[in-house]
Structures are given as C-alpha cells and as structure tokens.
Amino acid sequence: MTWSTNNAAVATVDASGNVKAVKAGNATITATAKGNPNIKKSITVTVTKIVPTDLKLSKSTLNITKNQTFKVSATITPANAADKTVQWKSSNTKVATVDTKGNIKGVANGKATITATAKDNSKVSKTVAVTVSAKTVKVNKTSLSISEGKSETLKATVSPSDSTDKTVSWKSSNTKVAKVDSKGKVTGVKKGTATITASVKGAKEVKVKVTITAPVAAKSIKVNKTAATLDKGKTLTLSATVSPSNTTNKTVKWKTSNDKVAKVDSKGKVTALGAGTAKITASTTNGKNATATITVPYVKSLSAGTWKAGKDLPAGRYKITTNSGSGNLFIGMGTDRFINEILSSEQDDFGVIAVTTDIKNGDSIEIAGLNNVQFKQVSNVKSNTLHAGYWTVGKDINPGKYKITTPSGSGNLIIYRGSSLLVNEILSNKSDDYSVTSVTTTLKTGDRINISSLNKVVFTKK
C-alpha cells in the first residue's frame, strides 16, 4: 500500500498513513495497492485554522516614571495557533504609549490602560493598568536618636515600584558623630547631631536628623541563681540581668574560678566537670560583677565488703543509694550514728531507698548483698520532709512544734536532746498495737533526729 497527497502545502502523509496538517485548506489523501494502481481509495482532508484562545501578560499593573520604557511580554495559547500576532493599544497616549512589541513608555504623570488583543481573535485580550508618576524616595524615620556605639538601620522605599535606578545612596553630614553604611545602617560615634541623607537618581533627596547621646553605663548585674548544686556531667544555664534597663552595652562575659570543677560558655551554660566548688562570674563591660556558686558533689561507689571512712571514703555528710537490688548497710557500729538498714533500689515494704548521715574518719562501712552503693556528698538543706538517717534541728529542719507522721510503712523515730531521750517511737501509717500514727513534740536547735526503716517522714508545723 502506498500513500499520497495532492496538496502537501495543506496536509502530508507518511508511508504508514499518518496524516499531518500543515495549514488551513483542503487536500486529498489517496491509498493505492502495490502492483495494481487501479485499486485505490481517496479521502478528503480539511485543515481548519487554529486561532488563539487565551492571552497572558507578564504584568497586569505597571508603575513607571515619565520617559521610562518598560517591556511587557505577551504569550498566546495554544502554542500552535496559526497567527500569534498581538495588537497593542493605549487608552491615553498623553500619559503612556505602547509599540507593536509591548514596549510601554511613560509620557506624563497620570493613568492609562494598555490593551493587548490577539489579532486572529479579537475576543481574546488582556489589559495593563499603567500609572506614571514622579520618582520619590521615602525613609521610615524623619529623626533618629541612638547612643554612642549603638546602631539602627533606616529603611528607604523608592516609588514608583517599577522604576529603574532604585539604588539608594546614603551619606552622613558628620562622620565624627554618626556614620552610615550602604544599607542605611547608622552607627553612633560620639555625642552630637548629624544629618543622614538618602538619595536616588532622579528623585529628591531625603534628610534624617540623627542625635547621638552619651552611652548609659551599667550600674549593676544580677544572676538568676546565687548558688546551685550540679551533678558531674549535668548542665545548668544561668541568666544575667543588667541594670538599668536602658544600659547602652548589655554585653555579659562569663568565667569560672575553677575549670576543673565547672566550665561556662559565652551564653552562661554551666557544665559540671568534677567534685568541688566553683564561682561562676558574670561581668559587664564596665566591670560590674555578679557570681553564682556551683557545687559539684563528690560521688563514690562502693561494692559489697567492709570499708573504712578516711581511707576508702572521705569523711563528710552523704546521701546513700543503690541503683540495683537490695541488701544490708551498716555504718558507724559502736557510735551514736549507727546505721543499720536494708537499702533497696525500689520502694518496698522491707527497705529504704535512701539514707542520709554524717560519716566520720574511722567509721566502719559494711555492705552486704549489693554490687553498687553510691555515696553522694550533700550539704544540710532545711526541709520538713526527712527520710532514713540522722538529722539535726537548726541545720536540717527549723525548730518549732511539729506533728510527725509517715505516709507509708513503719519504722523507728528517735529524738535526742543532748543525752536525754525525747522521743522513742515506732511510727507507722497504720494504727496497730505496736506503733503510733503520729507524734507531736517541740524541737529545739541542736536536737538530733534518728529515722530508720522509713522512706518519708513528714513534720507538720503546729
């Protein structure tokens, strides 16, 4: 089978019978049998004209100056439209003109509408709203007051928005008082006044009066914490407040007195490094200081066995815990600080999860059934809630009259005043024949409290 066309200018056909439209008109496509030219069939193909259906412009509004030319591009769809010619027209040639290529020129201040129409389809058109106006520059402030060493950025707006040469140039009348950079950033140099000028090609320059005031010095600085206890490896971020609030330079520098105990970064973040005490100092640029004392407690772990304070563990006040299992803890046998507890990692009916006591040089420490017991040095902190261990009125709790209770379990509560026994009770959260549910007594400075087998004892002021 062979294929042929009688008008290739209108339509072509390939060896497979694929017909391609070239331009509007009529053509006859004929199929002929090979070997017998008398066997053939023909079909008439009519190619219709493709006209524009839509028109898009690169701008719908345009703001330009007199004598400025701006090209607006037009796109006809579909892309295979036979004639993509666009015709342009201005509604007011005294304000703005337009050429055949969409170049719009401002003639005089005012408004005009530019219409773009598809030549091959007058129903397809779009408009551009054109405003012609004089070029102006506006600055966001007419005056400015800043301190020596401080900066503030002025912002300039150039109109009309589509105008050319919109670069703003900045200049100071007195760079010894105030300087300005290419982006309008004004920096106070010394006390006085200066004029900052913003200028744009083709527009009237704008002036801003700048007053530079003397700097306000810091009078004091305060850190949000005066003291804190931080375990090794833990962090704490301190903050500093400089007064007065209008201080010109509020820069704060941080430093540590002992970088083996704690370090501090430029933002006040403290990291505990080793046991001991460090003073973290916050300083202003004019030498005002404030400090926070950071204590990193000494911590040591002991395993099952017999140990001696002063040799295996430094003397001190310790909070003692375990992280796994339960077992026996004996400390200071034969002393008035004897500890005999079942120490457990979890709260249960048989042991306590923490013991706090003073350990002195020579005290014996015996651990049984436990692989890891942590001894953490602590200071006396007054509280109305105590647990197993030894406590001193005036150091660990304020003197006064108290009702003493426990929310769970039962254990011994012993209170000495000098060598006299003040309280000796089995304290329990449940009433029975062997214990009491509360004790009311008056505590005086120096009284010693011994709590055993109890995780929590509450002292309620009467």
Residue among 297, 298, 318 at smallest CA distance from 230? 297
3-class secondary-structure state, position 86: strand
Give the end-to-end CA distance of the chain in Å, rounded to a whole number: 117
Give the pLDDT confidence score for residue 49 in this predicted structure.
Answer: 85
With beta carbons less than 8 A apart as the criterion, state whether 354 and 388 touch. Answer: yes
Give the pLDDT confidence score for residue 24 in this predicted structure.
Answer: 85
With beta carbons less than 8 A apart as the criterion, state whether 50 and 80 touch. Answer: yes
Give the pLDDT confidence score for residue 94 in this predicted structure.
Answer: 98
Task: pLDDT tens for the chain, 462 residues: list them.
Answer: 899 999 999 999 999 999 998 888 999 999 999 889 899 999 999 988 889 999 999 999 999 999 999 999 999 999 988 899 999 999 999 999 999 999 999 999 999 999 999 999 999 999 999 999 999 999 999 999 999 988 999 999 999 999 999 999 999 999 999 999 999 999 999 999 999 999 999 999 999 999 999 988 999 999 999 999 999 999 999 999 999 998 988 999 999 999 999 999 999 999 999 999 999 999 999 999 999 999 999 999 999 999 999 999 999 999 999 999 999 999 999 999 999 999 999 988 789 999 999 999 999 999 999 999 999 999 888 999 999 999 999 999 999 999 999 999 999 999 999 999 999 999 999 989 999 999 999 999 999 999 999 999 999 999
CATH number of 54-132: 2.60.40.1080
Residue among 168, 136, 137 at smallest CA distance from 65? 136
CB under 8 Å, gap of 24 or more: what pairs does 413-417 form? 413/439, 413/449, 413/450, 413/451, 413/454, 413/457, 414/449, 414/450, 415/441, 415/443, 415/447, 415/448, 415/449, 415/450, 416/447, 416/448, 416/450, 417/444, 417/446, 417/447
Tokens 């002063």 belong to which residue?
A: 310
DSSP per-residue letters across 408-457: SSEEEEEEEETTEEEEEEEEESS--SS-BS-EEEEE-TT-EEEEES-S-E
Tokens 């706090």 belong to which residue?
A: 356
Which architecture characterizes domain 220-296 according to CATH?
Sandwich (2.60)
Give the pLDDT confidence score for residue 351 in this predicted structure.
Answer: 92
C-alpha 379, offset from chain centre? 36
Give the pLDDT confidence score for residue 419 in this predicted structure.
Answer: 92
**Would you put residue 10 in left (φ > 0), alpha (ψ -120 to 50) or beta?**
alpha
With beta carbons less than 8 A apart as the criterion, state whether 28 and 4 touch. Answer: no
| CB-based contacts of 311, cutoff 8 Å, min separation 6 | none
**Would you put residue 339 in left (φ > 0), alpha (ψ -120 to 50) or beta?**
beta
How far apart (Å, rounded) are the C-alpha atoms in residues 402 and 458? 9
**Residue 226 DSSP one-character state:** S
Cβ-based burial of 221 (10 A; exposed 0-12, middle 13-18, buried ≥19)? buried
CATH 2.60.40.1080 in the chain, residue ranges? 54-132, 136-213, 220-296
Locate 376 and state its tokens: 């953490």
CATH of range 136-213; options 3.10.270.10, 2.30.30.90, 2.60.40.1080, 3.40.50.300: 2.60.40.1080
Number of residues that this document lists for the chain = 462
The whole-model pTM stands at 0.59
With beta carbons less than 8 A apart as the criterion, state whether 280 and 291 touch. Answer: yes
